[in-house]
Amino acid sequence: MSELVPEQWFESPPFSMPQAEKEIRLLNTLKELHQYHQAHCVEYNNLFSQTELSDIESLPYLAVRLFKHLSLSSIAEADVFKTLYSSGTTGQMPAKVLLDQETSRRQSKVLVKVLQDFIGKQRMPMLIIDHPGVVKSRNSYSARGAGIQGLSLFGRKPVFALNDDMSLNLEVVQNFNNEHKNTPVLLFGFTFMVWKYFIRALNAQNITLNLSQGTLLHSGGWKKLEAEKVSNSTFKETCKDVLGLSQVHNFYGMAEQVGSIFVECEQGHLHAPVYADVIIRDPVSMAVLPNNVEGVIQVLSIVPSSYPGNSLLTEDLGMILGVDDCSCGRKGKYFLVHGRLPKMEVRGCSDTAK
């Protein structure tokens, strides 16, 4: 199994490789994974038994919602180490992915490599903007629980800012602020939950914090925030006003493709690390679109081997802004996400919160 995804992948800094070199390496590994899934996943082989692969754009892709309807696996049942569920809202069917130990190990390794590029290697006191009940099970996780578990690798002495009923645990928050107000700290939560249950709850009580040395990582659907006319810039400005934070990074990813994490840089651009990539396709013809043209986002990743999740067509719209030339200095493609395809069901970790 380890030969499928060579360990040399994880020795490279996540944003140092030019796109042309990266695509050659990605194609070689993704070809191996494609052939592996053909041999070990009947449903995948039924769909893509004769595919010719000449470049990364020719890689076949699965519609991300297929994981809501099928349990796609390339491993024996006895090798399932962890089951991960996406966060479908009430009445919607969650996606399900099966991880073995090797895929889970790669997921953690990639998460560490990517996020260290943004927040450094120091483990910081951590305030989780959620409630403790979301991480009760160790064998089966919602996307929210998995996100918290993953990000906890970067924190120490983690505490939860919310009670189980989603109300603000003001005593915990104020103790955290008093203890760490002049030191680096890490805050993590899903976007709408950070906004509704943390920032607005503090605002309602006229409370401000002094976490000026802190970093907030957040992710999840912007749909509800857009409905409230809250832009990314408004979100960041309010974080500074209420929390004292100046380092705020959004990131894009999904439960169906573990290990793919695209973090927003200092210029406000999402970056594809060396282990993953994005392609933008026309929503009707599925042709690959040029930079600065909006289309459907396809995501690629070398991380999953326990299930055929290496190339997925999402239900999100976005555009590539450039390649290898972001002023932040990171190589590879950088892009924006504009929202969901019309008439798609609501999905996103934050969207599970009422």
**Beta bridge mates, 59:** none
- Looking at residue 144, its amino acid is R
Q: How far is residue 246's CA from residue 50's CA, in Å, rounded to a whole number?
A: 51
Mean predicted confidence (pLDDT) in 331-350: 74
Q: Is the pLDDT of residue 352 over 50?
A: no
Residue 203 pLDDT level (bands cut at 50, 70, 90)? very high
Q: Which helix (H) or strand (E) holds 160?
A: strand 155-160
Characterize the bridge pairing of strands 270-271 and 262-264: antiparallel
CB half-sphere exposure, 139, CA atoms < 13 A: 3
Q: Is the pLDDT of residue 299 over 50?
A: yes
Q: How far is residue 349's CA from residue 153's CA, in Å, rounded to a whole number?
A: 19
Give the distance from CA 230 to its chain's centroid.
21
At residue 125, φ and ψ (nearest 5 deg) are: -55, 140
- For 152-191, the pLDDT digits (tens) are 888 899 999 999 999 999 999 999 999 998 899 999 999 9
51 or 24, which is more confident: 24
Write down the mean pLDDT value for the chain.
89
What is the model's pLDDT at position 87? 64
- For 105-158, the pLDDT digits (tens) are 999 899 999 999 999 998 999 999 999 887 775 555 666 777 788 788 888 999
pTM of the model: 0.88
- For 51-98, the pLDDT digits (tens) are 789 999 999 999 999 999 999 999 999 999 988 887 655 456 788 899
- For 255-281, the pLDDT digits (tens) are 899 888 999 999 999 999 999 999 999
